[in-house]
Amino acid sequence: MADIDLDDLERRMDGGVAKLKSEFAALRTGRASTSLFDPLQVDAYGAKMPISQLGTVSVPEPRMLTVQVWDKSMVKAVEKAIRDSDLGLNPQSDGQLIRVPLPDLSEERRRELVRVASKYAEAARVAVRNVRRDGMDDLKKMEKDGDLSQDDRHLYEDEIQSLTDQHVKAIDEALVAKEQDIMQV
C-alpha cells in the first residue's frame, strides 16, 4: 500500500504562507522597517545585489531608514535603486550614509495598500488550495491504481483539508494584522 506524503504538502503550504509574509514585509506602512528594502536590487560589481549585501540598513527613528554603504563607490548606485523603486522614497546621501525619510501615507494610499495586501493574501490562498488539489488528485490516482482503499482515501482527504484550513486561517490572520498595521496612523 502506498502512502501520501502529508509532510511535503504541509511544507508546500508553509511556503505559500512564508511568501505572503515576505510580500507583506515589503509593503510600506507608516513606520520604518529594514525589510522595506529587501526586494530592492542594486546594480553593483556587474551583477544585481540586495542592498543588505552592500551596506547596513537601520532604523534610527520611526520614520527614517538609513543605509551605511560599505564601499564609497556604491553610494550612487544604492541611492539610485532606492529612488527608482516604486516605494516613492527620496534618499539623501551624506558621505557613505544614505538617509531615507518616510513620508506620511495619505488615507487614499493606505486604502490602496490594503487592496494590494488583499491581493497578496488571495494569491497565497490560491497557492494553498492548489497544493490541496494536488494532494487530492494524488489520492484519487492511488485509489484508482488500487494502492489505497476508499476509507483510507477519505481519512487522508480529511487530513489534507484540515491542513488547508489551518493555512488559510494563518493567511487570514496575517492579512487582518497587516490591514491594522497599514491603517494605523
Decide if domain 31-101 falls under CATH 3.30.1360.40.
yes
**Whole-number pLDDT of residue 1:** 40
Domains in the chain: boundaries: 6-25+106-183, 31-101
Q: How far apart are CA 69 and CA 76, in angstroms?
A: 10
Phi, psi of 107 (to 5 degrees): -60, -40
Query: Coil, helix or strand for 95?
Result: coil
| Residues 125-173: tens digit of each pLDDT | 999 999 999 999 999 999 898 888 889 889 999 999 999 999 999 999 9
Q: Is it the case that residue 24 has pLDDT exceeding 80? A: yes
**Whole-number pLDDT of residue 28:** 66
**Whole-number pLDDT of residue 101:** 87
- For every residue of 102-169, DSSP letters joined together read PPPPPHHHHHHHHHHHHHHHHHHHHHHHHHHHHHHHHHHHHHHTTSS-HHHHHHHHHHHHHHHHHHHH
85, 91 contact by CB (below 8 A): no
pTM, two decimal places? 0.68
**Whole-number pLDDT of residue 132:** 95
How is domain 6-25+106-183 classified at the CATH fold level?
Topoisomerase I; Chain A, domain 4 (1.10.132)
Per-residue pLDDT averaged across 20-30, rounded?
A: 77
**Whole-number pLDDT of residue 182:** 82
Phi, psi of 30 (to 5 degrees): -75, -20
Confidence of residue 30 (pLDDT cuts 50, 70, 90): low
| Residues 73-130: tens digit of each pLDDT | 888 988 988 888 767 788 888 888 999 888 777 788 788 888 888 998 999 999 999 9
Per-residue pLDDT averaged across 4-19, rounded?
A: 90
**Domains 6-25+106-183 and 31-101 alike in fold:** no
| Structural element, H or E, at residue 61 | strand 55-61
Q: Is it the case that residue 53 has pLDDT exceeding 60? A: yes
